[in-house]
Amino acid sequence: MNASLADVARQDAHPPGAPIALIAARNTARVALAAAIVVLALMVANAVASRREDPAKATVLIALQHDLTLHPGDEALRARVRSEDKRVRQDYLRHRDFAVRGAWLLLTLIVVFLIASDIVRRLRPEAPTPRPDAATRARQSAEATFRAVVGVGGVLAGTLATLTVLARHDSLAEYARAAQRAPKHAANAPGQPSGSGPSAGPSGALPMAAATGQGAGAAVAQPVGGTLAGPGTQLVPMPTEPAGTKAGAPPPADPGLLKKPPVAIRASLAPGWAENWPRFRGPEGTGIAPDRKPPTAWDGARGEGVLWKTAVPLPGKNSPIVWGKRVFLSGADASKREVYAFDLDTGALVWRTAVPIPAGVAVPKVQADTGYAPSTLATDGARVCAIFVTGDVACLDMNGKLLWTRNLGPIENPYGHATSLAIFGSGLIVQLDQGHGDDGKSALLALDLVSGKTVWQIKRDMGSSWSTPIIINAGGQEQIVTTANPRVVAYDPHNGSELWRAEVLGGEVAISPVFGSGYVLVANQGSNSAAIRPDGKGDVTKSAVAWTAGDGLPDIVSPLVFDDLMLLVATEGWLTCVDIKTGKPVWDGDIAETVRSSPVLAGGRIYLTAVNGTTFILDPGRSFKVLAKRPLGEDVNATPAYVGSRIVIRGEKHLYCIGAK
């Protein structure tokens, strides 16, 4: 256009002068440019003004609305709120429209200016003036150019050097170390905020016994960082309004303190762990208690061999746990929950502590088979912890004093959350499987037993499950082994990092894993039983699964390992014993009773309690042999606790202790 053939022709046709077209074009260009500058200035002003008019952050309006909630009857204030709201929104829309219209106008003006300028240039071409000297310019400036390029290099080096200085305080080495191993030093880290409430002490570093008193003052601890996993999980913390807080309880800790570094887990087991029955299925969590000497003969219906029998105030499907002379369990209905401690010698209810339902926490609908307290407690000998279907975790001291509570709920579980608690050293392991797996709602958490703060938490890409994690030591590595649909996943209990996973399960997984003969063994109805070598890394489905099999799959009762065999118990009473090395059935048998309680190996025998209360004592051999049947006279859904020479059985309404004085 600007240099087309027509232009050249016109160059000759129009000698220099000021034809009307040139004047018009020149004036058009000038006017368009001036108008564009004005519009631009107005747009800048508008943009500056609209930054103050964000309707989502209208400070005056928000303040007025706050006032109104304090004085709800103030009609004048109400009117002001409404008019202010209207003004804010109108202003916002006006600014927005102005910006759009202004942009188009500006664009049009610039286009007009460009076209007019182009016409001006074509109407008044500059005479071509060849400049022969230009040929030598390049050479003349060569030295200067050379220096300038070197200068650019200098500027660049200077910039990099400045960046180097900026990066002087580099903490990479520190957090790289933290990324590699458990954050043990986090507990001893300097710079914990000082001043502060009772929970601010270096709780993680305290010896366990001393920590009881220390933690007692901490009372209700708020969850670290508010909700557990953001909006997706709908894990809503206790409401911020302290309306439901128990009178006399200290106010929630200063929010700033909640950001404190979480404490690390100490791995050491509490002294006495192995002799007691500190969690679901005993110290190992696998029903193995070879050092116990439980009785073999009793008749609960007639009272023979029963040391004591005590009524439990509130119902619950959770299994009793025992530490020292105390038996702990919980009970709940839709409106209240309690934790109980009974004396192991006398059966006396030593204490009962109510765990209040925090305000704003809705109790979910649960199936009757689940109840409101299906999860078994866990204790480390200094504290006892419980979790309820609402997602409330409570920690009490051995005297029944509530140390802390946390709400990790609501938990989206079609039957009700039933996974029991586990303990690793100073950490309370909470498996919170919920939803349906692809929604990012499930998680595994470690809470500090002393403070209730989250030590670590990790997302699980699995849906609802009802199984309980076990903690094993395989290949010099402590592992938390979990089962859920569709996989078995092991985690490092120090920091929650995933160690391995194997995709072998399916259906609604309520069967906890067991560990024996070097294998993690799992089973679930609707999928498989499987043996997994727990020494892999990452997805070991193809590499570490020794076998999968489909015989005698259970759906409620967890397996039991003895010698090289694994006992699978179907709810209907079908027993299948498979060889751990091959997965092939060795024997099967039928006890013709419904079973929901998991088997235990104690005193060289297998104890399996049916729902009707009859305990079947089986021979742990390579054939099916029932040694004895011992009735209780009351239905049993929980797994009994085996300590010393006693068995503590939870019936539907009563707690029994079988054994001698």
Partner 1 sequence: MLAPLARIASVTLAFLAVAAATAQEQKKQPPPEFSSGYFPPTPTEPGPRADTFATIDVAILIVVLMLGTWFLLRTRSRTGVRMLVIFSALYFGFYRLGCVCSIGSIQNVALALGDPGYRLPFTVGAFFVIPLVFAMFVGRVFCGSACPLGAIQDLVTLRPIQTPPLVDHTLGLIPYLYLGVAVLFAWTGASFIICAYDPFIPFYRLGGHWGVIAFGAGLLLIGTRVGRPYCRYMCPYGVLLRWASVAAKWRVKITPGECLHCHLCADECPYGAILPPTPAEPADARAVARRSLTRALIITPALMGSLALLGYAAAPALSTMHSDVRLAERLWAEEQGRVRGTTEETDAYRQLAQPFEVAYAAAVKIRRRFDIGSALLGAWAGLVIGGKLAHLAIRRRREDYETDRGGCLSCARCYMSCPVEHERLGLITLE
Partner 2 sequence: MAEDVRNGTPPQGKEASPTSTHTRRDVIAGVVRIGGLVAAGGALGALARGERSESTVWQIDPSKCIQCGKCATECVVTPSAVKCVHAYALCGYCKLCFGLFKDKRTGNTLAAENNRCPVDAIKRRFVEDPFYEMFIDEPACIGCGICVKGCNRFGNGALHLQVRHDRCVNCNQCAIAKVCPSQAFVRVPASRPYLIRTTRHGA
> Is 514 strand, coil or helix?
strand
Nearer to partner 2, 103 or 149 (CB): 103
Q: What's the sign of the alpha-carbon dihedral 342, 346, 347, 349? A: negative
Contact 528/552 with Cβ under 8 angstroms? no
- Buried-state track 94-110, b at ≥16 Cβ within 10 A, e below 16: ebeebeeebeebbeebb
Nearer to partner 1, 261 or 400 (CB): 261
- Which residues lie closer than 8 Å to 137 by C-beta, 6 or more apart? none
Give me the least distance between CB of 277 and partner 1, in Å please. 30
Q: How far is the CB of 102 from partner 2 (least distance, A)?
A: 12
Q: How far is the CB of 51 from partner 2 (least distance, A)?
A: 9
d(CA 268, CA 255): 31
606 exposure class (CB count in 10 Å sphere: 0-12, 13-18, 19+): buried
Least distance between partner 1 and beta carbon 58 (Å)? 20
Cβ at position 455, least distance to partner 2 in Å: 22
Please report how close the Cβ of residue 550 comes to partner 1 at its closest, in angstroms. Answer: 23
Q: Which does 85 bind (CB under 5 to 8 A by kind): partner 2, partner 1, none?
A: partner 2
**Of 75 and 143, which CB lies nearer to partner 1 in the complex structure?**
143
From the list partner 2, partner 1, none, partner contacted by residue 348 (C-beta under 5 to 8 A by kind): none
Q: 262, 453 in Cβ contact below 8 A? A: yes
Q: Distance (Å, rounded) from C-alpha 451 to C-alpha 403?
A: 8
Q: Quick one: what does residue 161 bind among partner 2, partner 1, none, with the CB cut-off 5 to 8 Å set by partner type?
A: partner 1
Please say which residue, 436 or 537, places its beta carbon nearer to partner 1.
436
Burial of 123 (0-12, 13-18, 19+ CB in 10 A): buried
Q: Which does 56 bind (CB under 5 to 8 A by kind): partner 1, partner 2, none?
A: partner 2
Residue 86 interface partner, choices partner 1, partner 2, none, CB cut-off 5-8 Å depending on type: partner 2
**Given the complex with partner 2, which of 80 and 336 has the nearer CB atom?**
80
Least Cβ distance, residue 263 to partner 1 (angstroms): 11
User: Pairing relation of β-strands 498-502 and 538-539?
Assistant: parallel
In the complex with partner 2, which residue's Cβ is closer, 317 or 487? Answer: 487
Please answer whether residues 540 and 532 qualify as being in contact, where contact means their C-beta atoms are separated by less than 8 angstroms. yes
Sign of the torsion angle spanned by Cα atoms 525, 528, 529, 532:
negative
Q: Which does 424 bind (CB under 5 to 8 A by kind): partner 1, partner 2, none?
A: none
Residue whose CB is less far from partner 2, 190 or 241: 241
The answer to whether the Cα torsion of 266, 267, 271, 272 is positive or negative is: positive
Binding partner of residue 137 among partner 1, partner 2, none, CB cut-off 5 to 8 Å per kind: partner 1
Q: Which is nearer to partner 2, 82 or 629 (CB)?
A: 82
Binding site for partner 2 (CB under 8 A): 54-58, 65-66, 68-69, 72, 78, 81-82, 85-86, 88-89, 92, 96, 99-100, 130, 132, 135, 229-234, 236, 436, 438-441, 463
